[in-house]
Structure 1
Protein backbone atom coordinates (compact mmCIF):
# COMPACT_ATOMS: atom_id res chain seq x y z
CA UNK A 1 0.00 0.00 0.00
CA UNK A 2 1.53 3.38 -0.96
CA UNK A 3 2.11 5.90 1.84
CA UNK A 4 -0.83 8.18 2.57
CA UNK A 5 -0.20 11.64 1.15
CA UNK A 6 -2.35 13.20 3.86
CA UNK A 7 -5.62 15.04 3.69
CA UNK A 8 -6.39 17.90 1.31
CA UNK A 9 -6.17 21.31 2.98
CA UNK A 10 -9.35 23.19 2.08
CA UNK A 11 -8.63 26.36 4.10
CA UNK A 12 -6.22 27.90 6.61
CA UNK A 13 -7.40 30.70 8.92
CA UNK A 14 -5.84 32.42 11.93
CA UNK A 15 -8.45 32.12 14.69
CA UNK A 16 -6.51 33.66 17.62
CA UNK A 17 -3.35 35.69 18.02
CA UNK A 18 -1.14 36.99 20.84
CA UNK A 19 2.27 38.67 20.96
CA UNK A 20 3.96 35.27 20.77
CA UNK A 21 1.56 32.85 19.13
CA UNK A 22 -0.98 32.54 16.34
CA UNK A 23 -3.49 29.71 16.33
CA UNK A 24 -4.47 28.47 12.91
CA UNK A 25 -7.53 26.42 11.97
CA UNK A 26 -7.04 23.91 9.14
CA UNK A 27 -10.11 22.70 7.28
CA UNK A 28 -9.16 19.24 5.99
CA UNK A 29 -10.73 16.62 3.73
CA UNK A 30 -9.41 13.08 4.17
CA UNK A 31 -9.13 10.50 1.38
CA UNK A 32 -12.39 8.85 2.48
CA UNK A 33 -14.27 12.17 2.07
CA UNK A 34 -14.47 12.90 5.82
CA UNK A 35 -14.00 16.60 6.67
CA UNK A 36 -12.56 17.95 9.91
CA UNK A 37 -11.15 21.17 11.32
CA UNK A 38 -7.88 20.90 13.23
CA UNK A 39 -6.25 23.70 15.22
CA UNK A 40 -2.51 24.14 15.54
CA UNK A 41 0.08 26.76 16.32
CA UNK A 42 0.72 28.59 13.06
CA UNK A 43 4.19 27.55 11.81
CA UNK A 44 6.82 30.20 12.55
CA UNK A 45 9.46 28.72 10.28
CA UNK A 46 11.99 28.78 13.14
CA UNK A 47 13.50 25.69 14.68
CA UNK A 48 15.52 25.27 17.86
CA UNK A 49 18.45 23.46 19.43
CA UNK A 50 19.15 21.83 22.79
CA UNK A 51 22.54 20.69 24.02
CA UNK A 52 23.75 18.19 26.63
CA UNK A 53 27.07 19.79 27.63
CA UNK A 54 29.59 17.41 29.21
CA UNK A 55 32.77 18.67 30.88
CA UNK A 56 36.19 17.01 30.77
CA UNK A 57 35.66 16.27 34.50
CA UNK A 58 32.61 14.16 33.67
CA UNK A 59 29.85 16.57 34.69
CA UNK A 60 26.68 17.38 32.79
CA UNK A 61 25.89 21.11 32.78
CA UNK A 62 22.26 22.10 33.25
CA UNK A 63 20.50 25.41 33.74
CA UNK A 64 17.83 26.31 36.26
CA UNK A 65 15.42 28.68 34.49
CA UNK A 66 11.99 30.10 35.26
CA UNK A 67 9.23 28.44 33.20
CA UNK A 68 6.04 30.51 32.94
CA UNK A 69 4.01 27.43 31.91
CA UNK A 70 4.65 25.62 35.20
CA UNK A 71 5.16 28.83 37.21
CA UNK A 72 8.36 27.49 38.77
CA UNK A 73 12.07 27.09 38.12
CA UNK A 74 12.89 24.04 36.03
CA UNK A 75 16.17 22.22 35.59
CA UNK A 76 17.03 21.43 31.97
CA UNK A 77 19.64 21.64 29.26
CA UNK A 78 20.64 24.85 27.47
CA UNK A 79 18.39 25.54 24.49
CA UNK A 80 17.23 28.25 22.16
CA UNK A 81 15.93 29.28 18.77
CA UNK A 82 17.98 29.12 15.60
CA UNK A 83 18.43 32.65 14.23
CA UNK A 84 17.64 33.33 10.55
CA UNK A 85 20.59 32.27 8.37
CA UNK A 86 22.16 30.26 11.21
CA UNK A 87 22.86 26.52 10.97
CA UNK A 88 21.79 24.31 13.91
CA UNK A 89 25.39 23.68 15.03
CA UNK A 90 26.11 27.44 14.97
CA UNK A 91 23.01 28.13 17.06
CA UNK A 92 24.05 25.39 19.49
CA UNK A 93 27.46 26.95 20.14
CA UNK A 94 25.96 30.45 20.43
CA UNK A 95 23.29 29.30 22.90
CA UNK A 96 25.89 27.47 25.01
CA UNK A 97 27.94 30.67 25.25
CA UNK A 98 24.86 32.72 26.15
CA UNK A 99 23.37 30.34 28.70
CA UNK A 100 26.31 28.61 30.41
CA UNK A 101 29.39 30.62 29.38
CA UNK A 102 31.03 27.81 27.37
CA UNK A 103 31.48 27.02 23.70
CA UNK A 104 31.98 23.49 22.37
CA UNK A 105 34.60 22.18 19.98
CA UNK A 106 32.63 18.97 19.40
CA UNK A 107 28.89 18.72 18.77
CA UNK A 108 27.35 15.31 18.16
CA UNK A 109 23.77 15.34 16.84
CA UNK A 110 21.47 13.00 18.76
CA UNK A 111 18.11 13.41 17.04
CA UNK A 112 15.69 15.95 15.65
CA UNK A 113 12.47 15.98 17.72
CA UNK A 114 9.05 17.64 17.55
CA UNK A 115 7.33 18.63 20.79
CA UNK A 116 3.71 17.79 19.87
CA UNK A 117 3.32 17.16 16.12
CA UNK A 118 -0.46 17.49 16.23
CA UNK A 119 -0.09 21.12 17.31
CA UNK A 120 3.46 22.31 16.48
CA UNK A 121 5.64 22.09 13.38
CA UNK A 122 8.92 23.43 14.80
CA UNK A 123 11.76 20.97 15.19
CA UNK A 124 14.50 20.87 17.80
CA UNK A 125 17.90 19.36 17.09
CA UNK A 126 19.42 17.69 20.14
CA UNK A 127 23.23 17.65 20.49
CA UNK A 128 25.88 16.41 22.89
CA UNK A 129 28.44 19.19 23.43
CA UNK A 130 31.98 18.13 24.38
CA UNK A 131 35.44 19.67 24.59
CA UNK A 132 34.05 22.81 26.19
CA UNK A 133 35.96 26.09 26.38
CA UNK A 134 35.18 29.20 28.38
CA UNK A 135 33.47 32.00 26.43
CA UNK A 136 30.42 34.08 27.33
CA UNK A 137 27.99 35.95 25.09
CA UNK A 138 25.14 38.16 26.25
CA UNK A 139 21.83 36.35 25.86
CA UNK A 140 18.20 37.37 26.00
CA UNK A 141 17.33 35.87 29.39
CA UNK A 142 15.63 38.26 31.84
CA UNK A 143 17.89 37.10 34.70
CA UNK A 144 21.18 35.21 34.96
CA UNK A 145 20.65 31.47 34.66
CA UNK A 146 21.94 29.22 37.42
CA UNK A 147 24.36 26.65 35.96
CA UNK A 148 24.11 23.30 37.76
CA UNK A 149 26.85 20.67 37.51
CA UNK A 150 25.56 17.10 37.71
CA UNK A 151 27.94 14.11 37.75
CA UNK A 152 27.51 12.01 34.61
CA UNK A 153 27.95 8.94 36.83
CA UNK A 154 24.68 9.92 38.58
CA UNK A 155 22.70 10.70 35.41
CA UNK A 156 20.08 8.03 36.23
CA UNK A 157 19.23 9.96 39.41
CA UNK A 158 18.61 13.08 37.34
CA UNK A 159 15.74 11.27 35.61
CA UNK A 160 13.82 11.15 38.89
CA UNK A 161 14.70 14.67 40.10
CA UNK A 162 11.50 16.68 40.69
CA UNK A 163 12.76 19.81 38.88
CA UNK A 164 13.98 17.86 35.81
CA UNK A 165 10.65 17.29 34.08
CA UNK A 166 10.84 18.76 30.57
CA UNK A 167 10.26 16.00 28.02
CA UNK A 168 12.87 17.29 25.55
CA UNK A 169 15.57 17.38 28.25
CA UNK A 170 14.66 13.86 29.38
CA UNK A 171 14.78 12.68 25.75
CA UNK A 172 18.20 14.30 25.23
CA UNK A 173 19.58 12.71 28.40
CA UNK A 174 18.30 9.24 27.51
CA UNK A 175 19.68 9.47 23.96
CA UNK A 176 23.05 10.67 25.29
CA UNK A 177 23.19 7.78 27.79
CA UNK A 178 22.42 5.31 25.00
CA UNK A 179 25.32 6.74 22.95
CA UNK A 180 27.89 6.84 25.78
CA UNK A 181 30.28 4.31 24.22
CA UNK A 182 30.34 6.12 20.85
CA UNK A 183 30.88 9.42 22.68
CA UNK A 184 33.83 8.01 24.64
CA UNK A 185 32.05 8.45 27.98
Structure 2
Protein backbone atom coordinates (compact mmCIF):
# COMPACT_ATOMS: atom_id res chain seq x y z
CA UNK A 1 0.00 0.00 0.00
CA UNK A 2 3.03 2.32 0.15
CA UNK A 3 2.99 2.85 -3.62
CA UNK A 4 0.66 5.61 -4.79
CA UNK A 5 -1.77 4.81 -7.61
CA UNK A 6 -0.70 5.62 -11.15
CA UNK A 7 -2.65 8.43 -12.84
CA UNK A 8 -3.77 7.06 -16.22
CA UNK A 9 -5.84 10.03 -17.38
CA UNK A 10 -7.48 13.15 -15.99
CA UNK A 11 -9.82 15.75 -17.43
CA UNK A 12 -12.19 18.49 -16.34
CA UNK A 13 -15.81 17.30 -16.40
CA UNK A 14 -17.58 20.39 -15.00
CA UNK A 15 -16.87 23.93 -13.88
CA UNK A 16 -18.73 26.90 -12.47
CA UNK A 17 -17.81 30.29 -11.12
CA UNK A 18 -16.63 28.64 -7.88
CA UNK A 19 -15.88 25.00 -8.60
CA UNK A 20 -13.99 22.84 -11.07
CA UNK A 21 -14.57 19.08 -11.05
CA UNK A 22 -11.82 16.80 -12.35
CA UNK A 23 -12.20 13.13 -13.26
CA UNK A 24 -9.12 10.96 -12.59
CA UNK A 25 -8.57 7.42 -13.87
CA UNK A 26 -6.22 5.64 -11.47
CA UNK A 27 -4.49 2.26 -11.42
CA UNK A 28 -3.58 0.87 -8.00
CA UNK A 29 -0.53 -1.28 -7.26
CA UNK A 30 -2.69 -4.44 -7.28
CA UNK A 31 -3.89 -3.67 -10.84
CA UNK A 32 -7.36 -2.43 -9.85
CA UNK A 33 -8.52 0.62 -11.81
CA UNK A 34 -10.99 3.22 -10.56
CA UNK A 35 -12.31 6.59 -11.65
CA UNK A 36 -12.33 9.28 -8.96
CA UNK A 37 -13.77 12.78 -9.08
CA UNK A 38 -12.49 15.70 -7.07
CA UNK A 39 -12.88 19.43 -6.68
CA UNK A 40 -9.81 21.24 -7.97
CA UNK A 41 -8.73 24.40 -6.18
CA UNK A 42 -8.66 27.77 -7.84
CA UNK A 43 -6.65 30.74 -6.70
CA UNK A 44 -3.70 30.85 -4.34
CA UNK A 45 -5.11 29.09 -1.28
CA UNK A 46 -7.12 30.01 1.79
CA UNK A 47 -6.49 31.03 5.39
CA UNK A 48 -8.48 30.67 8.62
CA UNK A 49 -7.52 32.79 11.60
CA UNK A 50 -7.80 32.23 15.32
CA UNK A 51 -7.55 35.87 16.41
CA UNK A 52 -7.01 36.22 20.16
CA UNK A 53 -7.55 39.65 21.71
CA UNK A 54 -5.87 41.17 24.78
CA UNK A 55 -8.59 39.64 27.02
CA UNK A 56 -7.70 36.13 25.81
CA UNK A 57 -10.92 35.92 23.81
CA UNK A 58 -11.27 34.43 20.34
CA UNK A 59 -12.78 36.75 17.74
CA UNK A 60 -15.59 35.02 15.83
CA UNK A 61 -17.97 35.92 13.03
CA UNK A 62 -21.56 35.00 12.36
CA UNK A 63 -22.31 34.70 8.66
CA UNK A 64 -24.74 33.01 6.32
CA UNK A 65 -23.61 29.61 5.06
CA UNK A 66 -25.36 28.75 1.80
CA UNK A 67 -24.28 25.11 2.11
CA UNK A 68 -26.22 24.66 5.35
CA UNK A 69 -28.88 27.29 4.50
CA UNK A 70 -28.48 29.03 7.86
CA UNK A 71 -26.36 31.45 9.84
CA UNK A 72 -23.28 29.95 11.46
CA UNK A 73 -20.70 31.09 14.00
CA UNK A 74 -17.17 30.44 12.80
CA UNK A 75 -13.66 31.85 12.56
CA UNK A 76 -12.68 34.57 10.08
CA UNK A 77 -11.33 33.09 6.86
CA UNK A 78 -10.86 33.82 3.20
CA UNK A 79 -8.96 33.36 -0.02
CA UNK A 80 -5.33 34.24 -0.53
CA UNK A 81 -5.06 36.73 -3.39
CA UNK A 82 -2.41 36.16 -6.07
CA UNK A 83 0.88 37.66 -4.92
CA UNK A 84 -0.13 37.75 -1.24
CA UNK A 85 1.70 35.84 1.47
CA UNK A 86 -0.36 33.80 3.92
CA UNK A 87 0.26 36.41 6.63
CA UNK A 88 -0.79 39.27 4.36
CA UNK A 89 -3.97 37.43 3.39
CA UNK A 90 -4.73 36.62 7.04
CA UNK A 91 -4.27 40.24 8.08
CA UNK A 92 -6.41 41.55 5.22
CA UNK A 93 -9.21 39.09 5.95
CA UNK A 94 -9.13 40.00 9.65
CA UNK A 95 -9.53 43.68 8.79
CA UNK A 96 -12.38 42.91 6.40
CA UNK A 97 -14.27 40.50 8.64
CA UNK A 98 -13.70 41.52 12.27
CA UNK A 99 -12.34 45.08 11.95
CA UNK A 100 -8.95 44.29 13.49
CA UNK A 101 -5.46 43.75 12.14
CA UNK A 102 -2.75 41.73 13.89
CA UNK A 103 0.85 42.67 14.58
CA UNK A 104 1.78 39.02 15.16
CA UNK A 105 0.60 36.20 12.89
CA UNK A 106 1.84 32.63 13.27
CA UNK A 107 1.20 29.77 10.86
CA UNK A 108 0.00 26.67 12.72
CA UNK A 109 -0.83 24.07 10.11
CA UNK A 110 -2.09 23.42 6.63
CA UNK A 111 -5.17 21.21 6.79
CA UNK A 112 -6.90 19.26 4.06
CA UNK A 113 -10.65 19.74 3.96
CA UNK A 114 -11.89 16.46 2.49
CA UNK A 115 -8.93 14.51 1.06
CA UNK A 116 -11.12 12.02 -0.78
CA UNK A 117 -12.92 14.70 -2.79
CA UNK A 118 -10.94 17.95 -2.62
CA UNK A 119 -7.37 18.85 -3.52
CA UNK A 120 -7.54 22.18 -1.71
CA UNK A 121 -6.87 22.91 1.93
CA UNK A 122 -6.70 25.80 4.35
CA UNK A 123 -3.83 27.30 6.34
CA UNK A 124 -4.61 27.90 10.01
CA UNK A 125 -3.06 31.03 11.48
CA UNK A 126 -3.01 32.49 15.01
CA UNK A 127 -3.33 36.29 15.15
CA UNK A 128 -2.19 38.20 18.24
CA UNK A 129 -1.59 41.81 19.29
CA UNK A 130 -4.75 43.02 17.59
CA UNK A 131 -5.40 46.66 16.69
CA UNK A 132 -8.54 48.25 15.23
CA UNK A 133 -8.54 48.67 11.45
CA UNK A 134 -11.43 48.10 9.07
CA UNK A 135 -11.25 47.27 5.36
CA UNK A 136 -14.27 46.82 3.11
CA UNK A 137 -14.91 43.13 2.49
CA UNK A 138 -16.84 41.22 -0.14
CA UNK A 139 -19.62 39.90 2.10
CA UNK A 140 -23.19 40.66 0.97
CA UNK A 141 -24.16 41.90 4.44
CA UNK A 142 -22.27 43.05 7.55
CA UNK A 143 -20.88 40.20 9.61
CA UNK A 144 -21.72 39.96 13.28
CA UNK A 145 -18.53 39.86 15.37
CA UNK A 146 -18.55 37.89 18.62
CA UNK A 147 -15.91 37.06 21.22
CA UNK A 148 -15.51 33.89 23.25
CA UNK A 149 -13.08 33.12 26.11
CA UNK A 150 -10.23 30.96 24.83
CA UNK A 151 -10.30 29.11 28.15
CA UNK A 152 -13.90 27.97 27.49
CA UNK A 153 -13.88 26.79 23.88
CA UNK A 154 -15.52 23.52 24.93
CA UNK A 155 -18.74 25.48 25.54
CA UNK A 156 -18.40 27.18 22.16
CA UNK A 157 -18.06 23.83 20.41
CA UNK A 158 -21.32 22.70 22.08
CA UNK A 159 -23.32 25.55 20.51
CA UNK A 160 -25.73 24.38 17.83
CA UNK A 161 -24.64 27.23 15.53
CA UNK A 162 -20.91 26.41 15.75
CA UNK A 163 -20.49 23.30 13.59
CA UNK A 164 -17.65 23.87 11.12
CA UNK A 165 -15.17 21.04 11.62
CA UNK A 166 -12.12 22.97 10.44
CA UNK A 167 -12.92 25.83 12.84
CA UNK A 168 -13.25 23.39 15.73
CA UNK A 169 -9.89 21.79 14.89
CA UNK A 170 -8.25 25.22 14.49
CA UNK A 171 -9.51 26.37 17.90
CA UNK A 172 -8.08 23.41 19.75
CA UNK A 173 -4.74 23.63 17.92
CA UNK A 174 -4.53 27.36 18.61
CA UNK A 175 -5.45 26.97 22.28
CA UNK A 176 -2.73 24.34 22.77
CA UNK A 177 -0.18 26.48 20.91
CA UNK A 178 -1.15 29.59 22.89
CA UNK A 179 -0.86 27.82 26.26
CA UNK A 180 2.62 26.52 25.33
CA UNK A 181 3.69 30.08 24.51
CA UNK A 182 2.69 31.20 28.02
CA UNK A 183 5.05 28.66 29.65
Match of 1:69 among 67, 70, 77: 67
Query: 1:45: Cα distance to partner?
Result: 4.9
Matched pairs, number = 183
In 2, Cα distance between the equivalents of 1:109 and 1:71?
31
Aligned to 2:32: 34
1:28-53 superposed Cα distances (whole Å, 9 cap, x missing partner): 11222211100101232531000111
Aligned to 1:104: 102
Aligned to 1:132: 130
User: What RMSD, in angstroms, separates the aligned Cα atoms of the two structures?
Assistant: 1.6
Match of 1:171 among 148, 169, 181: 169
In 1, Cα distance between the equivalents of 2:107 and 2:159?
25
Matches within 5 A, 1:144-155: 144-155=142-153
Aligned to 2:139: 141
Q: TM-score, normalised by structure 2?
A: 0.94
Q: TM-score, normalised by structure 1?
A: 0.93
1:47 pairs with 2:45: yes
Q: Mean alpha-carbon deviation: is it higher for 73-82 or for 117-126?
A: 117-126
What are structure 1's unaligned runs of at least 5 residues?
Answer: none
Runs of 4+ in 1 over 3 A off after TM superposition: none
Could you say what secondary structure the match of 2:123 adopts?
strand
Could you say what secondary structure the match of 1:179 adopts?
helix
